[in-house]
């Protein structure tokens, strides 16, 4: 039987005879549309209407994609996902080669060894610690464990893109607060709390801005958050911070506050491809997260590599030093080029341009350099690379931006 609906011609086959034409509505994704090759697509499927509010997570462009798009043969540098340009911890790589022998076995679902080592290092009991498939998994778990439909989740308008996605997945409402002076506006966040607020997400340093909230600011903020709200302090770039007066977030957890502190092996440890993040919170919260966790979400090689990376202080120190050098070099060069930037506390810089950045982004891509567009049309987020990569970036920007004014030193703070 052939029929048409909303301009689509479809054929109801015996397999889909249960579909009554009056049941078809705009949420129907496919209705046995006859494609060019005459293969029928999957049968009628209704998805949650609320999914329309979700913008799927958009990662930095993979190197392979740039090769496909431009056929570039030279070295491509990816400064788009805040990965460690030094690579993975050598200790982790050595451990990883042994881990491969046992990939026929399921991993330890409890991540016992990794959690116990984290417990020793951070002087926090194991039942206060969880490990996830990247910290994004724990962000989603927090949303699934705490939110009922229509609950509210507060976040800065400019912050990690996973927060609104997690809120929407749980059917909750993201409440986005504008940033002030390129930082989280903690007063405005506090003022936005209602009885419906269940989670506040704060990335510190903020991604993409790279700005930080200091210890005294955070102490005062946590003090004023009511007990029915979980504060997720996302410290993905924690190890890069250095000497600033940074919050002692684990103290909030130890003091019994409703705080979930997130860290990751994706950044300074150089294990983004293995997907391991971890979190600290009181055991009730950790237990709640475990209920919505996928079994075996942290695979065996990932657990083994993360454990080895934790004790590779040399790699962490070298990575931090490389980042510091790159930070100083880029700051000097951006100032010379008259480009505004936010003093970075992570391993990336938020840079403003005197024009829309779409063409700059494309021109960099053609030169084999991938950076990250951000919400603002005149800004880019650029990961700090190796000295060679940073130099190539600056040389490319000089070619692309002949009109930049090297006289002006503009720094947004």
User: Which chain residues interact with ligand PLP by CB under 6 A?
Assistant: 82, 134-136, 160, 203, 207, 234, 236, 264, 266, 272, 277
Taking the complex as a whole, the smallest distance from the CB of residue 287 to ligand PLP amounts, in Å, to 21
- Within 10 Å of residue 34's Cβ, how many Cβ atoms? 14
Helix then strand count (H, E) for the chain reads 13, 15
Taking the complex as a whole, the smallest distance from the CB of residue 279 to ligand PLP amounts, in Å, to 10
Q: For tokens 């990662």, what's the residue?
A: 59
Describe the crossing of helices 135-146 and 162-169 by its angle, rounded to 10 degrees: 40
User: Rounded CA gap, 107 and 299, in Å?
Assistant: 6
Taking the complex as a whole, the smallest distance from the CB of residue 137 to ligand PLP amounts, in Å, to 7
Taking the complex as a whole, the smallest distance from the CB of residue 136 to ligand PLP amounts, in Å, to 4
Q: CA quadruple 313, 319, 320, 322: dihedral positive or negative? A: positive
User: Rounded CA gap, 153 and 379, in Å?
Assistant: 26
Taking the complex as a whole, the smallest distance from the CB of residue 217 to ligand PLP amounts, in Å, to 18
Radius of gyration of the chain (CA): 24
Q: Is the Cβ of residue 260 or residue 337 nearer to ligand PLP in the bound state?
A: 260
Q: Is the Cβ of residue 63 or residue 272 nearer to ligand PLP in the bound state?
A: 272
Quick check: 322 and 386 in contact, CB under 8 A? yes
Closest CA to 289 of 385, 92, 145: 145
Q: Is the Cβ of residue 115 or residue 400 nearer to ligand PLP in the bound state?
A: 115
Task: Name the β-bridge partners of 8.
Answer: 5
Taking the complex as a whole, the smallest distance from the CB of residue 203 to ligand PLP amounts, in Å, to 4
Q: Is the Cβ of residue 155 or residue 330 nearer to ligand PLP in the bound state?
A: 155
Taking the complex as a whole, the smallest distance from the CB of residue 59 to ligand PLP amounts, in Å, to 9
Q: Is the Cβ of residue 82 or residue 303 nearer to ligand PLP in the bound state?
A: 82
Quick check: 302 and 103 in contact, CB under 8 A? no
Phi first, then psi, for residue 260 (nearest 5°) are -115, 115
Quick check: 277 and 262 in contact, CB under 8 A? yes
What are the CA-CA distances from residue 74 to residues 60, 63, 71, 283, 362 (Å)? 19, 11, 9, 50, 17
Closest CA to 95 of 263, 271, 296, 240: 271
User: Rounded CA gap, 380 and 80, in Å?
Assistant: 9
Q: For tokens 């705490």, what's the residue?
A: 146
- DSSP annotation of 343 reads P
Residues 6 or more apart in contact with residue 388 via CB below 8 angstroms:
none
Encode burial over 369-394: b for 16+ CB neighbours within 10 A, e otherwise: bbbbbbeeeebbbbbbbeeebbebbb
User: Rounded CA gap, 395 and 36, in Å?
Assistant: 48
Burial class of residue 260 in the structure, from the number of CB atoms within 10 Å of its CB (0-12 exposed, 13-18 middle, 19+ buried): buried
């Amino acid at each position: 039987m052939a029929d048409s609906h909303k301009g689509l011609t479809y054929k109801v086959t015996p397999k889909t005879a249960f579909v009554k034409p009056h049941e078809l509505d705009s949420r129907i994704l496919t209705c046995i549309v006859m494609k060019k090759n005459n293969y029928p697509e999957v049968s009628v499927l209704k998805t949650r209407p609320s999914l329309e509010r979700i913008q799927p997570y958009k990662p930095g462009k993979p190197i392979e994609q740039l090769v496909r798009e431009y056929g570039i043969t030279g070295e491509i540098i990816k400064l788009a996902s805040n990965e460690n340009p030094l690579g993975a911890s050598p200790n982790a790589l050595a451990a990883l080669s042994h881990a491969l022998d046992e990939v026929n076995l399921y991993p330890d679902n409890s991540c016992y060894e990794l959690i116990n080592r984290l417990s020793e290092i951070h002087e926090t009991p194991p039942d206060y610690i969880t490990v996830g498939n990247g910290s994004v998994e724990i962000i989603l778990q927090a949303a699934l464990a705490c939110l009922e439909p229509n609950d509210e989740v507060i976040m800065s308008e400019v912050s990690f893109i996973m927060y609104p996605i997690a809120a929407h997945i749980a059917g909750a409402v993201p409440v986005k607060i504008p940033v002030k002076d390129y930082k989280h506006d903690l007063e405005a966040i506090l003022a936005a709390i209602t009885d419906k607020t269940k989670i506040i997400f704060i990335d510190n340093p903020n991604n993409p801005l790279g700005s930080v909230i200091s210890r005294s600011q955070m102490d005062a903020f946590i003090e004023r958050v009511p007990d029915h709200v979980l504060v997720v302090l996302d410290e993905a770039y924690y190890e890069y911070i250095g000497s600033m007066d940074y919050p002692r977030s684990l103290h909030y957890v130890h003091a019994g506050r409703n705080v979930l502190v997130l860290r990751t092996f994706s950044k300074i440890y150089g294990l983004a491809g293995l997907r391991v993040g971890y979190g600290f919170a009181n055991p009730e919260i950790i237990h709640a997260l475990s209920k919505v966790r996928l079994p075996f979400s942290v695979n065996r090689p990932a657990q083994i590599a993360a454990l080895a990376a934790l004790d590779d202080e040399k790699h962490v120190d070298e990575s931090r030093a490389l980042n510091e050098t790159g930070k100083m070099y880029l700051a000097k060069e951006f100032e010379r080029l008259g480009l505004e930037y936010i003093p970075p506390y992570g391993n990336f810089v938020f840079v403003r341009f005197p024009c829309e950045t779409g063409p700059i982004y494309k021109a960099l891509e053609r030169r084999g350099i991938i950076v990250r567009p951000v919400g603002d049309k005149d800004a880019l987020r650029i990961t700090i690379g190796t000295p060679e990569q940073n130099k190539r970036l600056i040389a490319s920007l000089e070619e692309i931006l002949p009109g930049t004014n090297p006289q002006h030193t503009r720094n947004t703070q």
